[in-house]
Amino acid sequence: MRRLQRCLLVASLALLAVGCVSQRTVDGKDQPTQQFNAEEAAATRLALGFQYLRSGNYQQARANLERARDYTPKNPSVHTGLAIYYQQVKEYDKAERYYRNAIDLQPSNGDTYNNLGALLCTMGRYDEADSLFNQALQIPDYVKVASTYENAALCAAQAGKFDKADNYFNRALNHSARNSTILESYAAVLLDQQRIQEAAQILAQRANLPQLSPEYLRLEIELARQQNNKVRQVSFGELLLSRFPDSRQAREYLAKISEPNS
């Protein structure tokens, strides 16, 4: 499948108040001085680690994340941060181990189950991934229900279980009917199966939302291609090139139309 599961975790970094002790100065007055606070230091290192990870500086990302782990070895957010780092560098076994550590340390965090499920799906461990998505959904007060159903749907489709994927996509839309990302994901799966009429219905819902995206326009182009509608194909192609000329979808479209017999 062209669309991969999104595995997004926003680590919550609680900055704790810095403790103070009194230190006697040479003039006999008391002056407060900062005492090392491991939790605050770990939070700072964790934030730096994510910043370096976003910029692609993996060496510094790992150094800061490991320092955060050294400061607070039982901090689930730190273990999640290391899991995301190892996932980014495609060391999936280590990523899995850190996600499982985070779950052991904080079993009520649905995000971690969701993230581990997405990782296992990329590894082809579909049944385990499905179980983890459902564990996330069973956690009371878990708020990212729609995105987890979407991940479960994408994983089921990747496993070839299209009836199950349909069920998950419909549940995702029940929770977030105007979510453009979910509609685009579902349309992509339907077009991959050449279920043209159903894809057209989903894209019609997406068309009613205000914000265009390069992925939505790519899907409209693909739908027009499968419908053998050249005029509509060219129309959406021109719109893609004018609105999102630097997008991956625009580059792929240009490459495709430049092919012989395209």
Helix (H, G, I), strand (E, B) or coil at 32: strand
pLDDT above 70 as % of the chain: 86
Helix (H, G, I), strand (E, B) or coil at 148: helix
Of the two residues 22 and 100, the one the predictor is more confident about is 100
Q: How confident is the model at residue 3 (pLDDT cuts 50, 70, 90)?
A: low
Mean pLDDT of 162-181: 98
Residue 244, domain member (yes or no): yes
Residue 241, domain member (yes or no): yes
- pLDDT, tens digit, 9 for 90 and up, residues 12-35: 332 222 232 333 334 445 555 568
Q: How confident is the model at residue 191 (pLDDT cuts 50, 70, 90)?
A: very high
Sign of the torsion formed by the C-alpha atoms of 239, 243, 245 and 246: negative
Whose structure tokens read 């007055």? 29
Mean pLDDT of 240-250: 98
Sign of the torsion formed by the C-alpha atoms of 239, 176, 122 and 56: positive
Task: Quote the domain boundaries for residue 233.
Answer: 203-261
**Angstrom distance (rounded) from CA 46 to CA 42:** 6
Q: How confident is the model at residue 53 (pLDDT cuts 50, 70, 90)?
A: very high
Question: Under a CB-based contact definition with an 8 Å cutoff, are residues 172 and 183 in contact?
Answer: no
Residue 127, domain member (yes or no): no
Question: Under a CB-based contact definition with an 8 Å cutoff, are residues 136 and 113 in contact?
Answer: yes
Helix (H, G, I), strand (E, B) or coil at 31: strand
- What is the chain's alpha carbon radius of gyration, rounded to the nearest angstrom? 23
Residue by residue, DSSP assigns 149-188 as HHHHHHHHHHTT-HHHHHHHHHHHHHH-TT-HHHHHHHHH
Give the mean pLDDT of the chain: 89
Residue 238, domain member (yes or no): yes
**Angstrom distance (rounded) from CA 153 to CA 155:** 5
**Angstrom distance (rounded) from CA 197 to CA 99:** 40
Q: What are phi and psi of 193, to 5 degrees?
A: -90, 0
**Angstrom distance (rounded) from CA 234 to CA 257:** 10
pLDDT value, residue 35 = 84
Interaxial angle between packed helices 248-257 and 214-226, expressed in degrees from 0 to 180 and rounded to the nearest 10: 30
Mean pLDDT of 61-79: 95
Q: How many domains does the chain have?
A: 1
**Angstrom distance (rounded) from CA 87 to CA 62:** 12
pTM: 0.84
Sign of the torsion formed by the C-alpha atoms of 195, 197, 200 and 202: negative
Burial profile 228-249: b = 16 or more Cβ within 10 angstroms, e = fewer:
eeeeebeebbeebbeebeebeb
CA dihedral angle for residue 59, residue 65, residue 66, residue 70, rounded to 10 degrees: 160
pLDDT value, residue 36 = 83
Residue 210, domain member (yes or no): yes
Mean pLDDT of 237-258: 96
Question: Under a CB-based contact definition with an 8 Å cutoff, are residues 233 and 223 in contact?
Answer: no
* DSSP bridge pairs for 112: none
